[in-house]
Structure 1
Amino acid sequence: MRRLHNMTQAYDWGSTSDIPRFLGRSATGEPVAEMWLGTHPLAPSQVETPTGLRPLSDLAGDVPFMLKILAAEQPLSIQVHPGPEEAREGYAREQAAGIPLESPQRVYKDPRHKPEMVYALSTFDTLVGFRPTAEILRVFAQLDSPAVNAASATLRAKTGYKGIVRVLENLLIAPPPASEINQLVIQCKALVHDGVDIKRAYSTAAMIARYHPGDVGIVVSLLLNRFTLQPGEAMFLGTGVIHAHLSGLCLEAMANSDNVMRAGLTRKTLDPEGLIQCLEAGMSRVARVEPGYPSFSTEVYSPAVDEFALAVTQVSPADPDGVALISAEHSIVMCIGGGVQLLNAQGEKVPLSRGEAVYTAAEDGDLTLVGTGEIAQIYLPGPHTPDSELRDLLGARPVRQIPLT
């Protein structure tokens, strides 16, 4: 077991207080958007060794998963993550072009796909996937602008998923002027004032406009479903799913990738062509993850991908012998509440308070948790990983066929 030291990311949408509070640190007034736990080269974790800190990759190699704490105070960019083929091709293309990995123009940071799962630590709001055609048309019917009227005509001529993708493509290729978008926001606010808000479409657009006035992403948000997760609830987003997190604190479990194609609500490089290409391949699964229960104290969220599963375990004095954790080839264990101690088969002990984490390997053997608290454990799933039930949130959609190997 090796204690981890992890890097944070100061993206401008981040909360100024949530992650510092979670880590027991003083806020500086600057946004702290994410903390990364894993071996991704953009923000690799380090481990404590007798000779000092070393990169986790020196000890564990290229760990296939990554765990993040994410704290959103403002909406994130509207985005899609590529599937395996798009990731490999895009990475090779940008490598051949000589675009530096840290360049703002770089889209593909690695050759891997990025399925991910959100586990809410607070009330967590997000936009995920397209609304049904009929719902989008009802949302548009209450509004009047050239862009909305053209989108309605496009969607009536070509209904369903492919028609919605065409609407999105038209908006990204020829965004309406900021003055038109601002007028749409005024209409949305008036509708909310009058008690009209179809599935929170208008209030969401008005909220986004406070942070990104005149941005085409405000119009795009009208196409998207809004979901709210309560603490302890989880949602799986396969690759090829359009989404934009809005607010709240969560854990993100994902494949070890940072490939993002953006379509608005950001100052970063946009890749509308790549984003549309990913969407045209078909949308992967969007599902609420109902946990499996290997024991009374542990819930396992396993969305049936090769790279990761997430276990959440609670322990208290009611467990005088402690609670057994998942044993896995690779594992990162982070305390998310209280104070605990982690013991391995060799009798080593590591105390953990909230926000502290360790890396464990197969040679640690059986892991035991004692104390009073709660941990989250991301690990490489195996044949004995408990099944989770995935409840589809968006109904029937064209689904891309993505191999799990």
Structure 2
Amino acid sequence: MNILTPAFQGARWGSTTLIPEFLGTRPSGNPVAEAWFGAHPSAPSGTDDGTDLGSLLARQPEQRLGRDVVTRFGERLPYLLKLIAPVRPLSLQVHPNLEQAAAGHRREEALGIQVAQRNYPDANHKPEMVYALSTFEAVCGFRAPRRVAELLDGLDAQLARQLAAILRRDPSAEGVRSAFARLLGHADGDEVTQVARGCRERLAAGDSPSPRADALVVMLADEYPGDPGAVTALLLNPVTLQPGEALFVPPGCVHSYLSGFAVELMANSDNVLRAGLTVKHVDVAELLATVDCVAAPPIRIAPETVGCTEVFYAPVDDFELSVATRAGGEPARLRGRGPRILLGLDGAITVAAGGIERVLARGESLFLGADETPVLLSGAGRLVQAGVP
């Protein structure tokens, strides 16, 4: 059982206070967008034995990860747990599947592309799940094409008329792809500004067909003037998660997280294909080659309760997210297996495994190897667990 120290990621969209205050540290005034708990090579967590988690696992991979995990994923932790705290929108992005990631990584390695310009810094896919700790806003996946056309109607903007015409002519996934390509690949700043102005005007007039969508376009256009990504708010599903709710984002699903505070669990990858709403590297062509344009509602995962634990089953093999709640009483067994990371959400829970006990408070985290079973919980509080199904 090892105490973890997260690796921090700064970005202009991150809150200056949410993550530091959650972890019980003094805010520095700089944005802290994410805190990483895991063994990703670019930013592994520290441990209480003086080394990082990746190096710790490399010493005894089969013992700490478990033979089954090593057989399936190799000698590496297959997931990455994060805290994420956006106060401004993240980039419009898609994550690749395994085949796309492996091919893209090989290609970029062969070409010697610099890290800052890479889409594929590793060869892994990146499905992910978000568990809200506060109200959490996002856009995720495509709306039905006919609904998108309805939202575009009435906007006195050439771009809106062209997109609506494409979708009415072909209200299929290929029509959505054509409209998305027209928007991201060919729209200029003036066209985007015209659409945003139209959304602002019909909001003010009180005759918007979707005040929420129009308000998102206006907000995104104010944050990123002239960026075609702002108009995608008319094409994508809006999502609001309340605390305790979870959203699964599969590979190929276009999305942007807008605001809130959440736990995020994903396959152990940092592959991101961006198409806008960012100052980072953008590759519209690669995103269009990987995005899934089939209209579908966001995938909300309802938990199943097993003992003291709510389990959010995702349709992937790399990770499993669960939340355990204790309110005193006799020690209870924590469901799960494989290498685990525990993160305290509130209260104080005593974690016992392998003859060792540690108290886990809000913002504190532990790594437990596959050989450290059973895990017993006592005390009163709540924690999130990342594990391998």
TM-score between both structures, scaled by the size of structure 2:
0.92
| Counterpart in the other structure of 1:329 | 338
Q: Which amino acid aligns with 1:340?
A: I
Relative to structure 1, the CA distance from residue 96 to residue 181 in structure 2 (aligned partners, 3 Å threshold; closer, same or farther) is: same
| Counterpart in the other structure of 1:193 | 204
Q: Which amino acid aligns with 1:158?
A: D
| Counterpart in the other structure of 1:360 | 368
Q: In percent, how many aligned pairs have the same letter?
A: 38
Q: Which amino acid aligns with 1:72?
A: P
**1:28 offset after TM fit, Å?**
1.8
Richer in helix (by share)? 2
Any conservation in 1 of the 2:142–2:297 contact (CA below 8 Å)?
A: no
Aligned length: 372
Distance across 2 between alignment mates of 1:27 and 1:156? 51
| Counterpart in the other structure of 2:377 | 369
**1:57 offset after TM fit, Å?**
4.1
Find the partner of 1:222 among 234, 239, 259.
234
| Counterpart in the other structure of 2:135 | 123
| Counterpart in the other structure of 2:53 | 55
**1:55 offset after TM fit, Å?**
3.4
Distance across 2 between alignment mates of 1:17 and 1:115? 27
Any conservation in 1 of the 2:350–2:379 contact (CA below 8 Å)?
A: yes
| Counterpart in the other structure of 1:112 | 124
Distance across 2 between alignment mates of 1:165 and 1:226? 19
Deviations 1:359-384 (A, max 9, x none): 11122111112222110001001xxx
| Counterpart in the other structure of 1:290 | 302
Distance across 1 between alignment mates of 2:294 and 2:201? 36
TM-score between both structures, scaled by the size of structure 1:
0.88
Aligned Cα RMSD in Å?
1.7
Any conservation in 2 of the 1:238–1:284 contact (CA below 8 Å)?
A: no
Relative to structure 1, the CA distance from residue 150 to residue 281 in structure 2 (aligned partners, 3 Å threshold; closer, same or farther) is: closer
Q: Look up the SS of the partner of 1:53 in the other structure.
A: coil
Q: Which moved more, 1:186-195 or 1:34-43?
A: 186-195
**1:194 offset after TM fit, Å?**
2.6
Matches within 5 A, 1:79-228: 79-100=93-114, 103-176=115-188, 178-199=189-210, 200-228=212-240
**1:283 offset after TM fit, Å?**
7.8
Q: Look up the SS of the partner of 2:322 in the other structure.
A: strand
Q: Look up the SS of the partner of 1:11 in the other structure.
A: coil
**1:174 offset after TM fit, Å?**
1.1
**1:125 offset after TM fit, Å?**
0.5
Relative to structure 1, the CA distance from residue 66 to residue 197 in structure 2 (aligned partners, 3 Å threshold; closer, same or farther) is: farther
**1:43 offset after TM fit, Å?**
1.0
Stretches of structure 1 that go unaligned for 5 or more consecutive residues are 382-405
Residue 64 (structure 1) aligned with residue 75 (structure 2) = no
Any conservation in 1 of the 2:143–2:296 contact (CA below 8 Å)?
A: no
Q: Which moved more, 1:329-338 or 1:281-290?
A: 281-290
Residue 26 (structure 1) aligned with residue 26 (structure 2) = yes
Deviations 1:338-395 (A, max 9, x none): 2222111x321112221111111122111112222110001001xxxxxxxxxxxxxx
Distance across 2 between alignment mates of 1:285 and 1:361? 37
Distance across 1 between alignment mates of 2:140 and 2:209? 16
Q: Look up the SS of the partner of 1:72 in the other structure.
A: coil
Distance across 1 between alignment mates of 2:207 and 2:270? 38
Q: Which amino acid aligns with 1:228?
A: T
Distance across 2 between alignment mates of 1:283 and 1:154? 15
Stretches of structure 2 that go unaligned for 5 or more consecutive residues are 58-63, 65-74
Q: Look up the SS of the partner of 1:62 in the other structure.
A: coil
Q: Look up the SS of the partner of 2:117 in the other structure.
A: coil
Distance across 1 between alignment mates of 2:377 and 2:176? 49
| Counterpart in the other structure of 2:269 | 257
Any conservation in 2 of the 1:240–1:282 contact (CA below 8 Å)?
A: no
Q: Look up the SS of the partner of 1:126 in the other structure.
A: strand
